[in-house]
A and B are shown apart, each in its own frame.
Chain A
């Protein structure tokens, strides 16, 4: 079965510190991978998506970056966190590729709640 895990679940970081959130997917190959951020009481904002190893597309310019060093690994990073980076970060994947496998469904990880102080 397909599963997705992300960690850490919760972290509190000072302003200016670095960040690394990791996400791994199992049970599928060549997934499309996504990072979303959700501010408190708000909708989900797409940050990055990836269709393959080393292929990253950014939706919103910011001080965050993403990398995909392996097929089923997606990492969200920052060199210096800002207060505005606080939020609930969600990794997601869509299994398979092409329109025939398109059901409009994303599978989300458990989320990482980041508080920047």
Chain B
């Protein structure tokens, strides 16, 4: 089976930097994705790592270490609108498709 672990809640101050960690166990690993979901809304894609290292997209960066089965999402210059739930998701192959298995999510609260 697959399992992903990420903190359930994180609180950070506006303008600060926050890191959300994710550890995983899975077979057929292809890559690690990150999604953002605001209350009542659908998840939206943030980033994807298939290889070790850091991927940067604006204020958001994501890191992957395949040997450690570990990744993190880094959010810089936090804004109030960043308050949302963040999910890591492991991408695995099988039966001709690529499935994403999601963690339980980390609820980020940005405070003034």
On A, residues with C-beta under 8 Å from B are: 32, 34, 36, 42-46, 49, 51, 57, 59, 90, 94, 102-111
Contacts and interface: CB of A to CB of B under 8 A. Distances in A.
A32 B100 contact: no
Given A102-B30, A104-B91, A110 B42 contact: yes
Given A32-B97, A49-B97, A108 B44 contact: yes
Contacts, number: 64
Contact of B98 (A32, A109, A110): A32
A106 B105 contact: no
B8 to A, nearest CB: 9
A90 B100 CA distance: 13
Contact of A108 (B42, B98, B101): B42
